[in-house]
Chain A
Amino acid sequence: MSEIKVDCTGETCPIPLVETRKALRKAKEGDIVEVIGTHPSSKKEIPMAVKALGLELMDIQEKDGVWKIRIRR
């Protein structure tokens, strides 16, 4: 089991969503994908994609405009 980090800081629509999906496709079952970003809508929309893909949303945090989302494949 490994952890994959995706840094989308400063990126805008649709990059955080697309990069998250690319990382999830590469991840194996049980792997954790951690996405960091600043685009406000992506903080809401990445969890929507996680739900649509039937994966587990582990945690969402935000500090000083930077959010961190952890997903288990």
Chain B
Amino acid sequence: MANKATIVVHSGDMDKVYSALIIANGALAMGMEVSLFFTFWGLQRLKKGGLEKGPLSKMNLLGLGKWMVKRKMRKAGTASLEKLLQDFKELGGKILACDMTMAVMGIKREDLRVDLISDYCAVGTYINEAKESSVTLFI
């Protein structure tokens, strides 16, 4: 089994995207290879200006809950999603975009942050990478 982590980012919820990026960066820091597959609601976060747009998965309260959690996170010194994403790329992480989601949701390549995306692919690529990974997660 290769020293690799493969994570499906299906949710676009802010807290879940945080979990995915924190785990991914932790794995890279521990010397693993990491691929993130952005699909469905997760892919919305790779749209230009979309990274911080996700609601809280619980108690979003029309954005009030999210605002409170973000304030607490700032006080605790938590990194922004943008910093986590930049660190992920700097440490050699790979971002893959689901092309089926793009077709279903009418997302064009120019709508996405193409500089971050290594490839546009489907389930075959995911399985190909996941079967040789010692860590796989669906978030």
Contact = CB atoms under 8 A, between A and B. Distances in A.
B115 interface: no
A10 B76 CA distance: 9
Question: Chain B interface residue count: which class?
Answer: 10 to 19
B91 interface: yes
Contact of A14 (B22, B31, B76, B90): B22
Contact of A25 (B25, B26, B79, B91): B91
Given A21-B91, A22-B87, A14 B29 contact: yes
A56 B127 CA distance: 35
- Please report whether the interface of chain B is mostly helix, strand, loop or mixed according to DSSP: helix
B77 A18 contact: no
Nearest to A38: B77
Interface in A3-49: 10-15, 17-18, 20-22, 25, 48-49
A22 B25 CA distance: 11
B30 interface: yes
B87 A18 contact: yes
Nearest to B23: A14
A53 interface: yes
Contacts of A21: 28-29, 31, 91
Interface in B1-59: 22, 25-26, 28-31
Interface string B57-94: 00000000000000000001111000010010011000
28 contacts: A10-B77, A12-B76, A12-B77, A13-B22, A14-B22, A14-B25, A14-B26, A14-B29, A14-B84, A17-B26, A17-B29, A17-B30, A18-B25, A18-B29, A18-B87, A18-B91, A20-B29, A21-B28, A21-B29, A21-B91, A22-B90, A25-B91, A48-B30, A49-B29, A49-B30, A52-B30, A52-B31, A53-B30
Interface of B: 22, 25-26, 28-31, 76-79, 84, 87, 90-91
